[in-house]
């Protein structure tokens, strides 16, 4: 937890200390009391244990701007929303549902009448700026998604929609209410959608994945501008997007923001300015003739990259496995956009041990890939040969070395063996 009191110019750590610390390692919500900026509520999913689990989840409250903290509610916290100009606050917690406090979060009561609490693994709250008694609750899991509305400050809820999610409801969910019309709701799941009848029906505002897509998929944040109701902001796996005309068009706002999460890059062996990379949720890309990166292969997630060390015009990139076989593409002309084609899989045995991030490496003009078996192919070829037996678990890294005519190759496996 960090605090800035000069508009973000400087920051101070504010996790408290000793028994008055705030130990959350996964913070999902931060809210400041409108009537007293010393009061801060933070909610999250706990601290990591040595056994890989989490403990300490809940709502933590500070009355001194984060110098010390008190735990005031248990369970994983998904969202916290204050009523403007008030000490009344609502929180959404897994297993407890909606909780309400009228004293700045010091004490809490259930506010779940009409809400199905069990089975939900994701929850989001939204309050109507035009009427703070109107709230929306978006809940989701792997198998279900629901939207509820309360018109009496959480006293009771009415289910408005039972199919508001395209999928991945445990992962991407967001909801916002129009600044002046409490019946108009903006929804984010895989794509973004809008309802004009209080959540009963939604219309998608963008196309599906592909060249015509206006906004990157997998939405995590949706916001209306409080000054201009035609302006909305979208935060997704592809960064930040904005519409100034009520979703008729969208602008990509990611220029000069370093937000791409690369799994791997490969640098040209003769020209360090030429780089290829694979990014989480943003496919594979390359920087070839200038400082600009261009999409080289649309694949959802991009992963490993490699050059033929003898002929660097031959470039490889990978995505997640398909049909229990690795997805490898190859360009024979320097990796220009549109030049990558799927590499043949002949000789590879389908296996669940091909990792989500399948390891790939080159040595000279030889290409290596692995499941729990190590394979080799010529960088210009179309057939693979197994060069090891079963190694006992998935290979996660391949390190070939070229020593004269020999190519000793080391691999590391998921069970810690080399």
Q: What span, in angstroms and rounded, lies between the C-alpha atoms of 298 and 211?
A: 10
Q: Is residue 198 part of a domain?
A: no
Of 111, 128, 148, at which residue does a domain stop?
A: 111
Q: What span, in angstroms and rounded, lies between the C-alpha atoms of 134 and 298?
A: 42
Q: What span, in angstroms and rounded, lies between the C-alpha atoms of 171 and 325?
A: 26
Q: What span, in angstroms and rounded, lies between the C-alpha atoms of 251 and 8?
A: 25
pLDDT beneath 70: ranges in the chain: 48-54, 143, 208-213, 405
Q: Is residue 313 part of a domain?
A: yes
For 156, the 3-state DSSP assignment is: coil
> How confident is the model over 240-283, as pLDDT tens digits?
999 999 999 999 998 888 888 999 999 999 999 999 999 998 89
pLDDT of residue 406: 72
Of 78, 95, 111, at which residue does a domain stop?
A: 111
Q: Is residue 32 part of a domain?
A: yes
Sign, Cα dihedral of 100, 102, 104, 105: negative
pLDDT of residue 401: 82
Q: How many domains does the structure of the chain reveal?
A: 2
Q: Per 3-state DSSP, what percentage of the chain is helix, strand, and coil (rounded to 5)?
A: 0, 45, 55
Q: Is residue 241 part of a domain?
A: no
CB-based contacts of 308: which residues, under 8 Å, 6+ apart?
A: 314, 315, 362, 364, 365, 367, 379, 380
Sign, Cα dihedral of 253, 259, 262, 266: positive
Q: What span, in angstroms and rounded, lies between the C-alpha atoms of 388 and 322?
A: 22
Sheet holding 27-32, edge to edge: 27-32, 40-44, 58-62, 70-74
Q: Is residue 207 part of a domain?
A: no
pLDDT of residue 145: 85
pLDDT of residue 363: 93
Structure tokens belonging to residue 30: 């931060």
Residues in the chain, total = 418
Residue 275 lies in domain: 262-413
Query: pTM for the whole thing?
Result: 0.85
Of all helices (H) and strands (E), which one includes residue 234? strand 232-236
Of 95, 111, 127, at which residue does a domain stop?
A: 111
Chain centroid to Cα 160, Å, comes to 27
- As beta bridge partners, residue 73 has 59
> How confident is the model over 119-128, as pLDDT tens digits?
888 999 999 9
Structure tokens belonging to residue 113: 């009448």
pLDDT of residue 255: 85
> Which letter does DSSP use for residue 403 in this model?
B
Q: Is residue 302 part of a domain?
A: yes
Q: Is residue 375 part of a domain?
A: yes
> How confident is the model over 54-106, as pLDDT tens digits?
677 899 999 999 999 999 999 999 999 999 999 999 999 999 999 999 999 99
Sign, Cα dihedral of 35, 40, 41, 44: positive
Q: What span, in angstroms and rounded, lies between the C-alpha atoms of 311 and 110?
A: 66
Q: Is residue 34 part of a domain?
A: yes
Q: Which of 132, 78, 88 is nearest to 109 (CA)?
A: 88
Looking up residue 299, the CATH number of its domain turns out to be 2.130.10.10
pLDDT of residue 121: 85
Q: Which of 8, 84, 3 is nearest to 40 (CA)?
A: 3
């Amino acid at each position: 937890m960090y605090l800035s009191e000069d508009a973000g110019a400087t920051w101070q750590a504010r996790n408290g200390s000793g028994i008055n610390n705030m130990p959350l390692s996964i913070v999902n919500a931060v809210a400041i009391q409108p009537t007293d900026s010393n009061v801060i509520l933070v909610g999250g999913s706990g601290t990591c244990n040595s056994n890989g689990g989490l403990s300490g989840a809940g709502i933590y409250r500070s009355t001194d701007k984060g110098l010390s903290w008190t735990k005031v509610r248990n369970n994983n916290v998904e969202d916290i929303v204050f009523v403007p100009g008030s000490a009344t606050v609502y929180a959404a917690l897994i297993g407890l549902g909606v909780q309400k406090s009228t004293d700045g979060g010091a004490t809490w009561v259930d506010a779940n009448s009409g809400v199905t609490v069990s089975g939900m693994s994701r929850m989001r709250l939204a309050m109507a700026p035009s009427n703070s008694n109107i709230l929306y609750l978006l809940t989701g899991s792997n198998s279900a998604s629901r939207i509820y509305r309360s018109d009496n400050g959480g006293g009771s809820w009415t289910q408005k929609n039972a199919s508001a999610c395209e999928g991945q409801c445990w992962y991407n969910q967001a909801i916002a209410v129009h600044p002046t019309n409490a019946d108009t709701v903006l929804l984010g799941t895989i794509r973004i959608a809008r309802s004009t009848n209080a959540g009963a029906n939604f219309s998608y505002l963008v196309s599906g994945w592909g060249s015509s897509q206006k906004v990157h998929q997998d939405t995590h944040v949706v916001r209306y501008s409080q000054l201009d109701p035609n302006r909305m902001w979208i935060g997704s796996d592809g960064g930040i997007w904005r519409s100034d005309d009520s979703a008729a068009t969208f602008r990509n706002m990611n220029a000069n923001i370093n937000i791409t999460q690369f799994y791997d890059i490969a640098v040209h062996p003769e020209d360090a300015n030429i780089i290829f990379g694979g990014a989480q949720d943003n496919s594979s890309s390359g920087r070839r003739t200038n400082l600009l990166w261009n999409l080289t292969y649309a694949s959802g997630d991009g992963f490993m990259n490699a050059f033929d060390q003898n002929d660097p015009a031959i470039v490889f990139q990978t995505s997640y496995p398909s049909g229990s076989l690795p997805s490898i593409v190859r360009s024979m002309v320097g990796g220009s956009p549109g030049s990558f084609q799927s590499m043949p899989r002949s000789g590879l045995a389908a296996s669940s041990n091909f990792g989500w991030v399948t390891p790939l490496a080159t040595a000279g003009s030889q290409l290596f890939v692995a499941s729990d078996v190590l394979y080799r192919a010529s960088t210009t070829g179309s057939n693979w040969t197994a060069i090891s037996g079963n190694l006992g678990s998935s290979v996660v890294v391949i390190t070939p070395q070229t020593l004269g005519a020999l190519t000793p190759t080391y691999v590391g496996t998921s069970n810690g063996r080399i």
